[in-house]
């Protein structure tokens, strides 16, 4: 028998069961991935040297040069305060396993990517939800936050920019979170995988690093760099906490792969790092314009708070159908995949990823509009 109180990761379950083989996939959260050849060309990688790499276990906490590079992104951090993980996924899981003790609670914002909350619930910790306010552009409800945080709060979890809304925390929201954590000595775990995917302007989302002493940063090559298949992420924090996470990393995965470590080292070094981020931004900016133009074909049915960052839009719809049924009909009848809002705990929404080639995007959206017309006609 299996544990009856296990909480599956609803979004990832939906993706892993349904996305393979679908014709029009708008369910992913990153930009269209770059090919190996594309990365080799962009980073001017010496292929014969790469080919000579031994496919061995790499340094378990991360190749020194890679940790030096990552540490450089966070002024005041040290390379021993950086650990390379198997994506942000492993980093989030290690953080929950390392920080949480029985009786602790975790404060999370909804909707969000439920990786810390799911791990916390599976460890038997209480998860306290603070709803983001759609009418206020998905901003934080500061009164609800203040009420949720108490002396048993061990982690306040933020995804910034957020998945699925694409909202970037305002300075005032950031100050409220830091003040709430400081009041009770909680950790802020900031998942910043979408930093660098800003849709407007050239200002990158500021990191929580340096804003408070109990901060752990989670990031990866998956989103802003278009390299999810490397399965390479990182965790940054005080050296003693990172060492504790490292002890758990030896159980969870030992390490990410040697080739991923080598390729990430190239991808995160300048000028390649900036080139990859600018590639992601170009895809994000054109994709969102196509999405809104297509959704406007049904005035009054769709509404979206424009995401400030990321490839994703969390679209509200006014149709007589649940989000799960809408998405399953879309998949079965039109071969189009998007994620139901219910998987994020919010009805009448779906998450749509639009940083994809334009023709593909237009065809998928025309299918979505086709189903919408049918539902409006009562079919
Ligand atoms: C906020 C957030 N954190 C972490 C992850 C997992 O990313 P990775 O591919 O680095 O494991 C995702 C993936 O969608 C995400 O949206």
Residue 158 placed within a domain? yes
Q: How many domains does the chain have?
A: 2
Query: How far is it, in rounded angstroms, from Cα 232 to Cα 227?
Result: 9
Does 71 contact ligand 1 (Cβ within 6 A)? Answer: no
283 shares its domain with 337: yes
Residue 283 placed within a domain? yes
Residue 138 placed within a domain? yes
Residue 31 placed within a domain? yes
Q: Would residue 104 be called left, alpha or beta, if left means φ above 0 and alpha means ψ between -120 and 50 degrees?
A: beta
121 shares its domain with 135: yes
User: What residue has token string 């040697």?
Assistant: 258
18 shares its domain with 164: no
Does 90 contact ligand 1 (Cβ within 6 A)? Answer: no
- pLDDT per residue over 173-182, tens digit each? 999 999 999 9
CATH of the domain at 318: 3.90.1150.10
CA of 71 to the centre of ligand 1 (A): 20
C-alpha angle 136-139-144 in degrees, rounded to nearest 5: 105
169 shares its domain with 248: yes
Residue 117 placed within a domain? yes
Cβ atoms of 311 and 320 within 8 Å: the answer is: no
Does 308 contact ligand 1 (Cβ within 6 A)? Answer: no
309 shares its domain with 346: yes
84 shares its domain with 173: yes
- pLDDT per residue over 281-306, tens digit each? 999 998 999 999 999 999 999 999 99
220 shares its domain with 319: no
Nearest-CA residue for ligand 1 atom 15 is: 113
CA of 77 to the centre of ligand 1 (A): 23
Closest CA to 324 of 296, 360, 349: 349
How many other C-beta atoms lie within 10 A of the C-beta of residue 353? 25
pLDDT in the model for residue 201: 85
Residue 155 placed within a domain? yes
Among 220, 254, 270, residue at a domain's last position: 270
Residue 125 placed within a domain? yes
pLDDT in the model for residue 173: 96
Does 111 contact ligand 1 (Cβ within 6 A)? Answer: no
Among 270, 286, 314, residue at a domain's last position: 270
CA of 89 to the centre of ligand 1 (A): 6
127 shares its domain with 219: yes
pLDDT in the model for residue 202: 85
pLDDT in the model for residue 379: 87
Does 163 contact ligand 1 (Cβ within 6 A)? Answer: yes
17 shares its domain with 166: no
Give me the percent of the chain exceeding a pLDDT of 90: 96
How far, in Å, are 73, 87, 159, 248, 258 from residue 232 at the CA level?
16, 4, 18, 17, 11
Q: pLDDT truncated to tens, each residue of the chain (379 aa)?
A: 898 999 999 999 999 999 999 999 999 999 889 999 999 999 999 999 999 999 999 999 999 999 999 999 999 999 999 999 999 999 999 999 999 999 999 999 999 999 999 999 999 999 999 999 999 999 999 999 999 999 999 999 999 999 999 999 999 999 999 999 999 999 999 999 999 999 988 899 999 999 999 999 999 999 999 999 999 999 999 999 999 999 999 999 999 999 999 999 999 999 999 999 999 999 999 899 999 999 999 999 999 999 999 999 999 999 999 999 999 999 999 999 999 999 999 999 999 999 888 999 999 999 999 999 999 999 8
207 shares its domain with 221: yes
> 75 phi and psi, to 5 degrees?
-55, 135
Q: Identify the domain containing residue 328 by its residue range.
A: 10-36+274-376
Residue 44 placed within a domain? no
239 shares its domain with 198: yes
- pLDDT per residue over 135-165, tens digit each? 999 999 999 999 999 999 999 999 999 999 9
pLDDT in the model for residue 82: 98
CATH of the domain at 88: 3.40.640.10
284 shares its domain with 264: no
Nearest-CA residue for ligand 1 atom 14 is: 29
Q: Ligand 1 pocket test: pick from 87, 92, 221, 224 the residue with the most ligand atoms within 8 Å of its Cβ.
A: 87
Q: Which residues contact 19 (CB under 8 A, 6 or more apart)?
A: 25, 27, 28, 337
Query: How far is it, in rounded angstroms, from Cα 230 to Cα 147?
Result: 40
Does 220 contact ligand 1 (Cβ within 6 A)? Answer: yes
């Amino acid at each position: 028998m299996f544990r009856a109180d296990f909480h599956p990761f609803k979004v990832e379950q939906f993706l892993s069961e349904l996305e393979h083989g679908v014709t029009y996939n708008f369910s992913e959260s990153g930009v269209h991935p770059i090919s190996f050849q594309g990365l080799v060309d962009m980073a001017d990688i010496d292929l014969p040297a790469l080919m000579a790499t031994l496919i061995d276990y790499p340094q378990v906490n991360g190749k020194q040069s890679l940790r030096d590079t990552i540490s450089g992104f966070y002024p005041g951090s040290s390379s021993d305060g950086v650990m390379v993980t198997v994506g942000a996924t492993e980093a989030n899981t290690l953080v929950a396993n390392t920080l949480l003790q029985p009786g602790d609670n975790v404060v999370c914002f909804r909707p969000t990517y439920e990786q810390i909350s799911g791990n916390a619930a599976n460890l038997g910790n209480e998860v306290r939800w603070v709803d983001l306010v759609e009418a206020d552009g998905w901003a934080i409800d500061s009164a609800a936050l203040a009420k949720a945080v108490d002396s048993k709060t061990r982690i306040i979890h933020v995804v910034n920019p957020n998945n699925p809304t694409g909202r970037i925390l305002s300075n005032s929201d950031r100050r409220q979170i830091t003040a709430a954590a400081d009041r009770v000595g909680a950790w802020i775990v900031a998942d910043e995988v979408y930093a660098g995917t800003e849709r407007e302007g050239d200002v990158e989302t500021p990191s929580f690093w340096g804003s408070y002493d109990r901060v752990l940063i989670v990031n990866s090559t998956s989103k802003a760099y278009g390299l999810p298949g490397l399965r390479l992420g990182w965790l940054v924090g005080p050296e003693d906490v990172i060492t504790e996470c490292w002890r758990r990393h030896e159980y969870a995965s030992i390490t990410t792969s040697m080739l991923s470590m080598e390729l990430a080292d190239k991808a995160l070094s300048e000028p390649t790092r900036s080139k990859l981020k600018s590639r992601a931004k170009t895809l994000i900016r054109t994709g969102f314009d196509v999405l809104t133009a297509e959704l406007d074909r049904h005035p009054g049915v769709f509404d979206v708070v424009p995401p400030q960052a990321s490839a994703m839009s969390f679209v509200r719809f006014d149709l007589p159908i649940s989000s799960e049924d809408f998405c399953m009909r879309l998949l079965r009848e039109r071969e189009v995949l998007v994620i139901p809002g219910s998987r994020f705990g919010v009805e009448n929404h779906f998450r749509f990823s639009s940083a994809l080639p334009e023709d593909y995007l237009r065809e998928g959206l025309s299918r979505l509009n086709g189903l919408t017309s049918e539902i409006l006609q009562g079919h």
